[in-house]
């Protein structure tokens, strides 16, 4: 055998184990395998204002021009109550005020006359004080009657119930002819503008929600862009979730129900790359040319796991399942030999 041939055989014998070891696994950069999972949470569009319009006094309903589903502007008439008794009361109070004013004019005239007589000594000082007291009492009665007039006018005004804001009539709880009682709801009015999206997001997904660059409300096949308005600082003890309030970039109809969706901006390793070694979940990465097992404490079997590694991090791809499995037989053999 020639010297050159012997040299080639020796070289092949030396390089063959390295070639076989290199063929056992191959890496891929994190950027090529990372996924950015989409999160979802149930969400509902809720009117920012929803009022149960009730009567403030007892009277019979004589008109309800607002129909269910109709839009009403602010200060538009919603309900009209029978105002006959309230008008009568107002007229009675006005008549009482007119009577008191007449009595005051008479008392003042008598007071002036008493002062003139007192100046000439025909009336005592006590008699003059009596006349002055009568005028003061009548003036107090007039003040009380004017307060009663204001109350009667307020009650009359409350027989017409107007919309406190622009909105849509969602429900009518009374009809013409019903007897309204104070505090009894007559209809439900929901604000038509600036509706909010309410969602319950698990506590573990709040960070991903805040870090996401875009949020979408999906209702059937339609998607509506939304943005975060506020996040509750209180965590529900039972569901370990927080209430998140969002606002739509366009008009949203109260009552819509769907899903709040957002995509994580943090790279996640697919579940297929997770392996369990020594009771810990982790992944094989390449460091200084060697495959190294890196435990991931937050990893869960069957779920993507977030990592904060650079995009160029080399992750073992092909052959990763065989790594770390040969040490156990070798240790067992060594243990048996030691015996």
Concatenated DSSP letters of 252-282? --TT-EEEEEEE-SS-EE-GGG-EEETTEEE
pLDDT digits (tens, 9 = 90+) for 34-74: 999 899 999 999 988 889 999 999 999 999 998 998 999 99
**pLDDT recorded at residue 326:** 52
Residue 11 neighbours by CB under 8 Å, 6+ apart: none
Helices 125-157 and 84-119 sit at what angle, rounded to 10 degrees? Answer: 160
Whether 103 shows a pLDDT value over 80: the answer reads: yes
Q: Is 216 helix (H, G, I), strand (E, B) or coil?
A: strand
- Beta strands in 133-195, from DSSP E residues, in sequence order: 160-162, 167-172, 179-180, 185-191
- Quick one: tokens of 194? 């600036």
How far is it, in rounded angstroms, from Cα 67 to Cα 172?
8
What are the pLDDT digits (tens) for 197-237? 999 999 988 988 998 889 999 998 899 999 999 999 999 98
236, 200 Cβ separation under 8 angstroms: yes
Beta bridge partners of 4: none
pLDDT digits (tens, 9 = 90+) for 113-167: 888 888 887 788 888 888 889 889 999 999 999 999 999 999 999 999 999 999 9
Q: Which CATH number is correct for 51-81+159-193, 3.30.565.10, 3.40.50.10540, 2.40.50.100, 3.40.50.10140? A: 2.40.50.100
Write the CA distances from 288 to 231, 239, 314, 320, 323, integer angstroms.
44, 45, 10, 17, 16
CATH of 38-48+195-263, one of 2.40.30.170, 3.40.190.10, 3.30.56.10, 1.10.3720.10: 2.40.30.170
| Cβ(199)–Cβ(42) below 8 Å | yes
Among the ranges given (7-21, 67-81, 102-116, 199-213), the one the predictor scored with the smallest mean pLDDT: 7-21
């Amino acid at each position: 055998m020639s010297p050159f041939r012997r040299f080639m055989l020796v070289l092949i014998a030396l390089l063959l184990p390295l070639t076989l070891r290199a063929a056992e696994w191959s890496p891929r950069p994190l950027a090529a395998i990372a996924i950015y999972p989409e999160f979802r949470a149930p969400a509902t569009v809720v009117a920012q204002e929803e009022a149960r319009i009730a009567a403030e006094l007892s009277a019979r309903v004589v008109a309800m021009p607002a129909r269910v589903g109709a839009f009403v502007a602010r200060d538009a008439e919603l309900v009209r109550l029978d105002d006959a008794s309230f008008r009568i009361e107002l007229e009675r109070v006005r008549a009482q005020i007119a009577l008191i004013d007449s009595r005051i004019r008479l008392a003042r005239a008598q007071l002036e006359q008493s002062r003139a007589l007192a100046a000439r000594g025909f009336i005592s000082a006590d008699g003059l004080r009596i006349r002055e007291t009568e005028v003061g009492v009548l003036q107090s009665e007039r003040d009380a009657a004017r307060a009663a007039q204001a109350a009667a006018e307020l009650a009359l005004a409350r027989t017409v119930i107007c919309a406190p804001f622009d909105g849509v009539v969602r429900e009518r709880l009374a009809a013409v002819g019903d007897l309204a009682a104070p505090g009894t709801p007559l209809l439900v009015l929901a604000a038509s503008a600036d509706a909010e999206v309410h969602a319950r997001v698990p506590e573990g997904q709040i960070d991903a929600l805040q870090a996401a660059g875009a949020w979408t409300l999906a209702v059937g096949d339609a998607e509506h862009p939304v943005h975060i308005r506020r996040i509750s600082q209180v965590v529900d003890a039972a569901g370990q979730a927080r209430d998140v309030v969002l606002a739509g970039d366009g008009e949203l109809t109260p009552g819509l129900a769907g899903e709040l969706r957002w995509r994580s901006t943090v790279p996640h390793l697919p579940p297929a790359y997770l392996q369990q070694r020594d009771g810990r979940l982790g992944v094989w990465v390449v460091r200084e040319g060697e495959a190294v097992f890196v435990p991931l404490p937050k990893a869960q079997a069957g779920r993507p796991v977030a990592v904060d590694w650079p995009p160029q991090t080399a992750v073992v791809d092909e052959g990763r399942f065989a790594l770390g499995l040969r040490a156990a037989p070798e240790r067992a053999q060594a243990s048996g030999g030691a015996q």
